[in-house]
A and B are shown apart, each in its own frame.
Chain A
């Protein structure tokens, strides 16, 4: 069980704006849908479904399962301005690997929210004893790549012309890994 007693958590951005971080709840459909719709196309490329369709977000909200996917939302006033999701497998050989997806609203970029979200996911990953966090980012998203690297993620591989956006254009995919403290302990045995 992932510990959620730290939420709601208030944070302050570089411009002194106050935000609240908390896990997504079913009532967040409208807020999350509005947030996703205003994101640039490139940021929506990784979704398996068309997130411009409200029913997709409604389905997510109905099937929330924090042990498989924990979406942490950043809320400013009553508006969702960012999200960070930690995906985990309950069983199998990847059960100690957490996959990270972070989305930051265009109007709150470069204020430290992305970095704060990475810190949040690192904290959660440590708490559930993951060995690695894995992030996949399109190479053009340079601010995200640099922020992940500054927070201890290392480039594992870059796949050239590997993924396509929603218009079919190909992009390089950067895969970054963050070794967690549990990994070091496990190596001792």
Chain B
């Protein structure tokens, strides 16, 4: 596991789909979403997200979850709309969309296994994230 801002026991230890969840959260709490993000941060995030989506594709390939396939298609669509050389707020918006669809795919996988949904907020301390937007669940 990489990018721990804090020491101590890794909070992902023993969780299902650890690589996918940690991969998602590294992006969720990544530099590219900060106000002072550089174009290098954005390009790096694009590549990271592309890798995550391919890993998700491999994971859902073994499962019978058609809704997850649809979500993943939308994630790729958002990513490819952004394009690796795009810059500025449009790129940020499409990356955000793609990451959101990726989160939904992870949720689909966890639901199929009967596990609780993934909430990045539960891992915020690991990334030294100051504030995580509140997301009310239903």
Interface residue? B116 (CB, 8 A): yes
Residues B138 and A12 in contact, CB atoms below 8 Å apart: no
Residues B138 and A104 in contact, CB atoms below 8 Å apart: yes
B 48-89 to A, binary, CB cutoff 8 A, 1 in contact else 0: 000000000000000001110111011000000000000000
Residues B70 and A180 in contact, CB atoms below 8 Å apart: yes
Chain B hits for A98, CB < 8 A: none
Residues A123 and B66 in contact, CB atoms below 8 Å apart: yes
Residues A14 and B137 in contact, CB atoms below 8 Å apart: yes
Interface residue? A62 (CB, 8 A): no
Interface residue? A11 (CB, 8 A): yes
Residues A14 and B65 in contact, CB atoms below 8 Å apart: no
Chain B hits for A123, CB < 8 A: 65-67
Contact of B117 among A14, A122, A126 (CB under 8 A): A14
Q: How large is the interface on B (under 10, 10 to 19, 20 to 34, 35 or more residues)?
A: 20 to 34
Contact of A181 among B70, B107, B138 (CB under 8 A): B70
Bound complex: CA A127 to CA B107 (Å) = 19
Chain A residue at smallest Cβ distance from B108: A119
Chain A hits for B115, CB < 8 A: 12
Name A115-152 residues within 8 Å CB distance of B: 115-116, 119-120, 122-123, 126-127, 143-144, 146-147, 150-152
Interface residue? A71 (CB, 8 A): no
Contact flag A126-B67 (CB < 8 Å), given A112-B117, A152-B104: yes
Residues A112 and B137 in contact, CB atoms below 8 Å apart: yes
Chain A hits for B74, CB < 8 A: 152
Name B93-138 residues within 8 Å CB distance of A: 104, 107-108, 111, 114-117, 119, 136-138
Residues B66 and A9 in contact, CB atoms below 8 Å apart: no
Name B14-50 residues within 8 Å CB distance of A: none
Contact of B138 among A9, A11, A115, A126 (CB under 8 A): A115
Residues B66 and A113 in contact, CB atoms below 8 Å apart: no
A 6-18 to B, binary, CB cutoff 8 A, 1 in contact else 0: 0001111110100
Residues B66 and A126 in contact, CB atoms below 8 Å apart: yes
Residues of B within 8 A of A (CB): 65-67, 69-71, 73-74, 104, 107-108, 111, 114-117, 119, 136-138
Residues of A within 8 A of B (CB): 9-14, 16, 104, 109-116, 119-120, 122-123, 126-127, 143-144, 146-147, 150-152, 180-181, 184
Beyond A12-B114, A143-B138, A181-B73, 18 extra complex contacts between A and B, CB < 8 Å? A12-B116, A14-B116, A104-B138, A111-B137, A112-B117, A115-B137, A116-B117, A119-B67, A120-B111, A123-B65, A123-B66, A126-B66, A143-B136, A146-B136, A152-B70, A152-B74, A181-B66, A181-B70
